[in-house]
Structure formats: structure tokens, C-alpha cells
Amino acid sequence: MEQRLLSSIRILIADDYEGWRRQVRSLFQSRPEWQVIAEAVDGSEAVQKAEELKPDLIVLDIGLPKLNGIEAARRIRRLSPGSKIIFLSLYHSPDVVQAALSTGALGYVRKTDALRELLLAVETVLQGKQFVSSSSLEGDEFNDTAIGKAPHRHEVLFYSDDTVFLDSLTRFISVALKAGKAAIVLATKSHLDSLLQRLKAGGVDTDGALRQGTYIPMEVAETLSTFMVNDMPDAARFFEVASALIETAAKAAKYSRVVACGECAPGLWAEGKADAAIRLEHLWDEVVTTFNMDTLCGYALSSFHGEENKQVFQSICAEHSAVYSQ
């Protein structure tokens, strides 16, 4: 008995969704020497408990509230450098995986692979070796048949005036919220205010959705400031911000499908930053594919003039699964 205790592995699990914490605990029951000594439901609590308890291993979600998992890992590495970290996440974008491992974590397991790979990942990481889920770097989509989802949509609307744009956003968001999905809207303040009024007028319980966290309105300028570097979107920062936001929305909707719409790339285009807009559309398309989302982007048709903007127009269209003009 004394020898077993001496060789025990002390583990901290950090995930704000109790179902995942329970599943991890259940998996670890097959290894009596692996002892779950604490759990955390947000990033700040994970950092605090890591500093206090100095666990041998931390299983860490990325989309944690208060402090996302990637930033929490950075702090934990400073405060408890002996703790080995495995990320257990829904995301499989190479940029997200790279950002996570750049913190000093040794493991990255997709939640969809947890039953098959988590135990092996722990064994590997405890030996000081790196483990990454076999599907995390392949760029494959989630299994639509297994989880009952249709293929993702990344659509763009070139609108003639604000009324057309707001009508389209209202229909898009209303259908999603009434179906129990989560909706993220990235738009200007005036558009967010008008959209909220239209949704309420259409019978959508926006107050309830805001409280529950299934309706997430965000201003464009503030959002862009979180991942723009030298007037271009930084891929690692973008995927970190987008991934955390999407997982937060998914959890609020009990992992139902997430939809998003907005004006981040159109905002860059309106500022004359064509290369940045195209780059952001490309990065967003990777996110949409990774998370199997439905997305609607909106560009003012009047902002495209003559032959000089034809190539930009074509490049933007190429990043979308469907193009509409109205």
C-alpha cells in the first residue's frame, strides 16, 4: 500500500462542463495509481489550484471561462513548472494545437478521441514525451453522421443597403435561437442595436438568450483588437480567441450547433485593408470547417467599384461556400 501511494500520480481536471469532468474521472478509474485530487471550473481556479497543490498532471480544457486554457497553461507553467499538462479540447485546427503546445504542454487530445486516446496520452506525457491526437493535425471535419450535423456553411451576402443586411441577419439569428442553437454576432454597434430590436419584435427571447449565453453580440472594433498585429490578423491569436468564443457558445447551448455572422472582414475591407480582409476570411473558413458551423458574412455591395476591386471581390467569394447579392 505504501509503495502504491508513493508512486501515485496526482491529477487536476479543469473543465467547466461537469459531464466532461465526470467522463475523465471515469476513464481514470482503471488506473488506481492515478488520483484526481481536485477539479476546476474556470481558468483562474485552475491556476490557483495548480499553484497550491502542485499536481503531477493537469487535464485542461481550452474554452474555460474567466481565463482561457491557453493563458491558464502559460501561468501554470510559471507557478508549477513540474506539472505536466494535457489539453483536452473540441478543436483540431493546427494553429490551435500549435498555440496550445507552445505553452509547454506535452499533450493535446480531441474530446472526440478521448475514449480511445486519453489514457495513452497520459501514459506518454508522464514519460516526458509529447502526444497529439491522431486526428488533431489532419484537418478532418467532425463526423457528421455520428453527431447528427449537416455540412458547414460559410456564406456571404453582398447587400445593397442596411435594411437588406439587417433583414438577413434577423432571419439567420432568429431561426438559430428558436432552434436552440447558439448565435454569435460580430457587428457595428448600430447594427447590433438594430438587430436586437428586430429580434425582439420577431418574438425572440433575447433577454433569456443573453442570460443563458446562447446569444453573444460583440462589437467589431473591439473584437478585431484582440487578434490584429501590424494591421494583419495573427493566426495564433485569432484561433485562440475564436476557439474560446465558440466553445463558450457551444457549452451554453449544451453543445448544440453554433452559428455566427458579422462584419469583421468587411470592416477591414471598409478600412482599405484588402489583404487583411481576405486573410481573415481564409482563417475564418478554417474555423467554420473545424467546428462545423453555419456562418453569414455581409459586405456592402457599394464598396466594390470597377475593375480595380474585381480581384478582391473574387478572392472574397472564393473563401465562401455560397455567394448572394441582394
CATH code of the domain covering residue 112: 3.40.50.2300
Cell readout for 306 is: 470597377
Task: Tell me: do 234 and 316 sit in the same domain.
Answer: yes
- The answer to whether residues 122 and 154 belong to one domain is no
25 lies in the same domain as 104: yes
Band of residue 1 on the pLDDT scale cut at 50, 70, 90: very low
* 3-state secondary structure at position 262: strand
In this structure, which amino acid lies at residue 251?
Answer: K
- Report, in this order, helix, strand and coil percent for the chain, each rounded to 5: 50, 20, 30
What is the rounded radius of gyration, in angstroms, for the C-alpha atoms of the chain?
A: 21
Sign of the alpha-carbon torsion through 134, 139, 144, 148? positive
- Residue 137 included in any domain: no
Least-confidence region, from 44-48, 76-80, 169-173, 299-303: 299-303
Under a CB-based contact definition with an 8 Å cutoff, are residues 89 and 122 in contact? no
Phi first, then psi: give them for residue 287, nearest 5 degrees.
-65, -45
Looking at residue 307, its pLDDT comes to 67
Q: Does 155 reside within a domain?
A: yes
Give the residue from 104, 132, 160 where a domain finishes.
132
Q: Are residues 113 and 237 in the same domain?
A: no
Residue at which a domain ends, from 132, 167, 182:
132
If asked whether residues 285 and 153 sit together in one domain, one would say yes
Query: Which residue range forms the structural domain that includes residue 82?
Result: 2-132
- The span from the CA of 12 to the CA of 114, in Å, is 16
Q: What are the pLDDT digits (tens) for 183-223?
A: 999 999 999 999 999 999 999 999 999 999 999 999 999 99
Separation CA 90–CA 69 (nearest Å): 12
Same domain assignment for residues 234 and 311: yes
The enclosing domain of 229 has a CATH number of 3.40.50.300
d(Cα 70, Cα 161) in Å, to the nearest integer? 40
- Cβ atoms 141, 152 nearer than 8 A: yes
* pLDDT over threshold 70, residue 140: no
At which of 98, 132, 166 does a domain end?
A: 132
Query: How confident is residue 153, by pLDDT bands cut at 50, 70 and 90?
Result: confident
139 is a domain residue: no
Tally of domains in the chain? 2
Q: Are residues 101 and 190 in the same domain?
A: no
57 and 174 in one domain?
no
Q: What does the pLDDT look like over 224-283, one tens digit per residue?
A: 999 999 999 998 888 888 888 988 898 888 877 889 998 999 999 989 999 999 999 988
Please give the residue that has the higher pLDDT: either 92 or 216: 216
What is the structure's pLDDT at 141?
35
Residue 86 falls within a domain, yes or no? yes
Same domain, 11 and 127: yes
- Asked if residue 161 belongs to a domain, the reply is yes
> Domain check: are 126 and 256 in the same one?
no
Q: Note whether 104 and 156 are same-domain residues.
A: no
- Per the CB < 8 A criterion, the answer to whether 157 and 297 are in contact is yes
Position 223 in a domain: yes
The answer on 218 and 193 residing in a single domain is: yes
Domain annotation covers residue 168: yes
- Here the cell at position 323 is 455567394
Q: Give me the helix-helix angle, 94-101 and 235-252, nearest 10°.
A: 100
Asked whether residue 236 is domain-assigned, the answer is yes
